Amino acid sequence: MNMSADQLVDLVSLKPQSSGGPQAGHHSVERVLHALRTHLGMDVAFVSEFREVDRVFRYVDAGGESPIAAGDALSLEVGYCQRVVDGRLPELIPDTAGFEEAMALPETTAIPIGSHLSVPIRLSDGRLYGTFCCFGYAKDQSLGERDLQVMRVFADLVTERIESDLTRDQDRENKRARLRKAMATRQPAIVYQPIFDLCDMHVSGWECLSRFNVEPGRTPDLWFQEAADIGMGEDLECHAISAALAGLGMFPGDMYLAINCSPELVLSHRLDELLQGYPAQRIVLEITEHAVVQDYREMETALAGLRQRGMRVAIDDAGAGYASMRHILRLRPDMIKLDISLTQGIDLDPQRRAMASALVAFARETGSTIVAEGVETLQELEVLKRLGADKVQGFLLGHPLALSDVKRLNIRAQGGGFGSATLQAPLRG
């Protein structure tokens, strides 16, 4: 059979695109199967993967009701596939009645199979993956060598897509193994950065921050992003939050811990389990401005239950992008944390001061507390105090500290309270 120009264009369009999402390979293979089956006028087309003792049908396309479905598995001794690979049956069979080996198979008459084409799928390293097949219920003497060549071209496209998917899956599994290994070695390590009350410069809370001391060396956000990409985002978050809350007892009872939390974890039952047994009034959930909230109504409901227990909610990174105001308006946070991009250089930039002033005024109207992050100079601190910020954190006043360093500070601060002379002796660790 001859391919039309339109079919050739369609064939080219079936090549996998590297920018495709996780389902791109699935859809492109199905398109190849459909294009081939309809071009050849066959009834069923499929890709099977060989395993140790059986083959599984990974993709199936049929013109009507099909005797097989994606996910079905059959012994390698059943059917045509293994016999084609072994050479006991030819790749091209226009009429099964002319082949004794084919007619001896029960499915040839049971299905029935009148015509059959099949080519092996071999990966670039030479490994046999399985077969690319199609069959018709009736014989078709018009099938010839040209059709088999077309079949091989389509099989090459399928092989390319399958190999890409296998590489992606292996990469995904390598990342999962790396993350499991990191968590098994108590990663991430948790450090605590002090948050100061501007009225008298005492420490009122601590933000819990993750640090990864394993390879590959990279920032925590990249670890958490990779975990989310491979479906382990909540696992890593729970691991980090559990480690952070384990240190709560080392802090005076009037101090809170601020923990970063994704919307997905808020909506899951796992967060409730994590927080059981901890005093809710000493925990602040920080939702970053960068986190996408798919359903604010559902999010509001989940947060309402936590708030009834005394927990507070903060919007982190406010001012870093357009999404922060939507978070603030819909989630009605108890705290609004000004992003470092807004606070750094605020003493020199009137636009930053105007934005911060507007957020401070908004917080006053709504009863929220303003926490300014990333404060690194006395000039920034003075401006933020003058604008009316309630709390500050940053390297000027205190670096993130390991829990062991916090314990030593606790001992030194007995009777005097944390941060009683903070500006004269910042918490550097």
112 is written with which tokens? 């029935």
Cα–Cα distance measured from residue 337 to residue 286, given in angstroms and rounded to the nearest whole number: 9
Cα–Cα distance measured from residue 256 to residue 285, given in angstroms and rounded to the nearest whole number: 11
Nearby residues of 197 by Cβ (< 8 Å), 6 or more positions away: 203, 204, 390, 391
| Equal CATH topology for 5-172 and 186-412 | no
- Return phi, psi of residue 259, to 5°: -120, 135
3-state secondary structure of 315: strand
| Residue spans per domain, the chain | 5-172, 186-412
Cα–Cα distance measured from residue 317 to residue 340, given in angstroms and rounded to the nearest whole number: 7
370 is written with which tokens? 């303003």
At residue 326's C-alpha, the angle toward residues 255 and 346, to 5°, is: 65
3-state secondary structure of 2: coil
Closest listed residue to residue 209, CA positions, set 419, 403, 369, 380: 403
Beta bridge partners of 50: 55
- Tens-digit pLDDT profile for residues 147-185: 999 999 999 989 999 999 999 999 999 999 999 999 999
- The CATH number that domain 186-412 falls under is 3.20.20.450
**pLDDT computed for residue 410 by the predictor:** 59
pTM: 0.78
The domain made up of 5-172 has a fold known as Beta-Lactamase (3.30.450)
**pLDDT computed for residue 378 by the predictor:** 96
CA-CA-CA-CA torsion sign (156, 159, 161, 167)? negative
Q: Percent helix, strand, coil in the chain (nearest 5)?
A: 45, 20, 35
Nearby residues of 235 by Cβ (< 8 Å), 6 or more positions away: 179, 183, 227
Q: What is the CA radius of gyration of the chain?
A: 31
Cα–Cα distance measured from residue 330 to residue 145, given in angstroms and rounded to the nearest whole number: 65
In angstroms, how far is the first alpha carbon of the chain from the final one? 77
Residue with tokens 């039309």: 4
3-state secondary structure of 398: strand
**pLDDT computed for residue 326 by the predictor:** 85
**pLDDT computed for residue 27 by the predictor:** 63
Cα–Cα distance measured from residue 73 to residue 32, given in angstroms and rounded to the nearest whole number: 21
At residue 222's C-alpha, the angle toward residues 216 and 227, to 5°, is: 95
**CB of 159 closer than 8 Å to CB of 123:** yes
State how far the alpha carbon of 110 is from the alpha carbons of 91, 114, 333, in Å: 21, 11, 67
Residue with tokens 């007892």: 249
Residues of the chain with confidence (pLDDT) below 50: 1-6, 8-9, 12, 14-24, 411, 413-425
Nearby residues of 37 by Cβ (< 8 Å), 6 or more positions away: 43, 44, 45, 61, 62, 63, 134
Cα–Cα distance measured from residue 206 to residue 77, given in angstroms and rounded to the nearest whole number: 65
**pLDDT computed for residue 421 by the predictor:** 36
